[in-house]
């Protein structure tokens, strides 16, 4: 989930909490206190467990090396194995 979505959902919970506070309605305030707490927890977990940019580029590099076309020597060895087999 994108961090900006979590941030704006938390911001929305804060806005609704203050609206509930303004009209003195506990049934509007209470769920939005929980929404704020869960939103903050979600953003903290995102910050803790996000992948560093180096890990992403290393992962892309690893995938690129796995998807490369076989070199000429590898193709000759595969042909020899196929012929001999």
Q: 6 and 37 share a domain?
A: yes
Question: Are the CB atoms for 36 and 13 separated by under 8 Å?
Answer: yes
pLDDT of residue 51: 77
Q: Are residues 63 and 23 in the same domain?
A: no
pLDDT in tens, 4-62: 899 999 999 999 999 999 999 999 999 999 999 999 999 999 988 887 766 556 666 66
pTM: 0.57
Q: How confident is the model at residue 76 (pLDDT cuts 50, 70, 90)?
A: low
Q: Which domain holds residue 9?
A: 1-50
Please state the domain count of the chain: 2
1 with 30, same domain? yes
- Report the alpha-carbon distance of residue 68 to residue 82 in Å, rounded: 21
Q: How many CB atoms lie within 10 A of CB 34?
A: 11
């Amino acid at each position: 989930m994108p961090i900006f979505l979590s941030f704006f959902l938390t911001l929305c919970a804060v806005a609704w909490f203050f609206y509930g506070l303004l009209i003195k309605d506990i049934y509007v305030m209470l769920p939005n206190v929980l929404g704020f707490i869960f939103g903050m927890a979600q953003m903290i977990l995102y910050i803790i467990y996000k992948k560093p940019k180096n890990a992403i580029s290393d992962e892309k590099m690893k995938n690129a090396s796995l998807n490369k076309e076989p070199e000429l020597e590898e193709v000759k060895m595969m042909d020899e194995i196929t012929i001999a087999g």
